[in-house]
């Protein structure tokens, strides 16, 4: 994988995937930044970021006093990220608790052992995660989030309504190949129930908007977005 921006742009720019990714990821980050900081302003003091990857929200966002942010991911991911942040002298702006766990395993126990309090309202985020989970892990994730959520908890997710179409899209296939990544191979087989159906069956109130609508609301319309993005959504739910 290219290690410099110039090399990355040279390899991926021609496919069109890199410019689209950079535009979209900025939009997605802002949408979910606003979700989390809005929940905190409303009094939610417990944040959980599922599969946080290289996200730095505990460090780069301004949090009200008393917020505690748990971020879950596999040990190698968190260890790498935290080493880089420590080397740079970064300081979290909230109480920060990394939880080294694989979401395909018993991540809920690891979260509770790290000090998560299921009696408190929680703001949950699953960003860039659901498309990669197999159906059984997808269902289990929502069930565990529901089990651990007190009244007033909130959840934001990014989801794709046509994963098979995404896997076969030429932009995804060719753009990934330009980066040396077989992107379709990362997407699981099997059909899933939509987040709307899963959360409604658990008693959550649900709303969603398309990625294209999110872009328009932020004044960053994706004019040249491929048809693929019509199947991508930002979704929000609340437990009464």
- Three-class DSSP labels, the chain: CCCCHHHHHHHHHHHCHHHHHHHHHHHHHHHHHHHHHHHHHCCCCEEEEECCCCCCHHHHCCCCCCCEEEEEECHHHHHHHHHHHHHCCCCCCCEEEEEECCCCCCHHHHHHHCCCCCCCCEEEEECCCHHHCCHHHHHHHHHHHHHHCCCCCEEEEEEECCHHHHHHCHHHHHHHHHCCCCHHHHCCCCCCCCHHHHHHHCCCEEEEEEHHHHHHHCCCCCCCCCHHHHHEEEEEEECC
For the segment 2-16, the average pLDDT, to the nearest whole number, is: 61
pLDDT category at 188 given cuts 50, 70, 90 is confident
pLDDT in tens, 26-66: 999 999 999 999 999 999 999 999 999 999 999 999 999 99
For the segment 67-94, the average pLDDT, to the nearest whole number, is: 97
Q: What is the pLDDT of residue 181?
A: 76
For the segment 8-30, the average pLDDT, to the nearest whole number, is: 76
Q: What is the pLDDT of residue 33?
A: 98
Give the range with max mean pLDDT: 17-21, 33-37, 174-178: 33-37
For the segment 101-110, the average pLDDT, to the nearest whole number, is: 93
Which CATH number does the domain 5-238 belong to among 3.50.50.60, 3.40.640.10, 3.40.50.150, 3.40.1550.10? 3.40.50.150
The pTM of this model reads 0.91
Q: What is the pLDDT of residue 99?
A: 98
Indicate the domain borders of the chain.
Answer: 5-238
Q: What is the pLDDT of residue 222?
A: 84
**pLDDT over threshold 80, residue 176:** no
């Amino acid at each position: 994988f290219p290690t410099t921006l110039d090399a990355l742009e040279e390899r991926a720019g021609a496919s069109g995937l890199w410019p689209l990714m950079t535009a979209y990821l900025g939009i997605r980050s802002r949408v979910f930044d606003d979700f989390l900081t809005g929940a905190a302003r409303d009094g939610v003091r417990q944040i959980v970021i599922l599969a946080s990857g290289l996200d730095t929200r505990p460090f780069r966002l301004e949090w009200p006093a008393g917020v505690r942010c748990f971020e879950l991911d596999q040990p190698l991911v968190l260890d790498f990220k935290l080493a880089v942040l420590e080397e740079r002298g970064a300081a979290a702006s909230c109480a920060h608790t990394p939880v080294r766990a694989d979401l395909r395993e018993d991540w809920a126990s690891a979260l509770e052992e790290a000090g998560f309090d299921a009696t408190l309202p929680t703001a949950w985020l699953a960003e860039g995660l659901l498309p990669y989970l197999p159906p059984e892990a997808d269902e289990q994730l929502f069930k565990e989030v529901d089990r651990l959520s007190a009244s007033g908890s909130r959840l934001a997710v990014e989801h794709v309504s046509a994963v098979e179409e995404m896997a076969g899209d030429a932009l995804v296939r060719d753009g990934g190949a330009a980066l040396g990544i077989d992107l379709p191979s990362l997407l699981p087989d099997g059909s899933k129930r939509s987040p709307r159906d899963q959360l409604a069956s658990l008693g959550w109130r649900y709303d969603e908007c398309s990625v294209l609508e999110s872009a328009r609301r932020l004044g960053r319309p994706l004019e040249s977005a491929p048809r693929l993005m019509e199947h991508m959504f930002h979704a929000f739910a609340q437990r009464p």
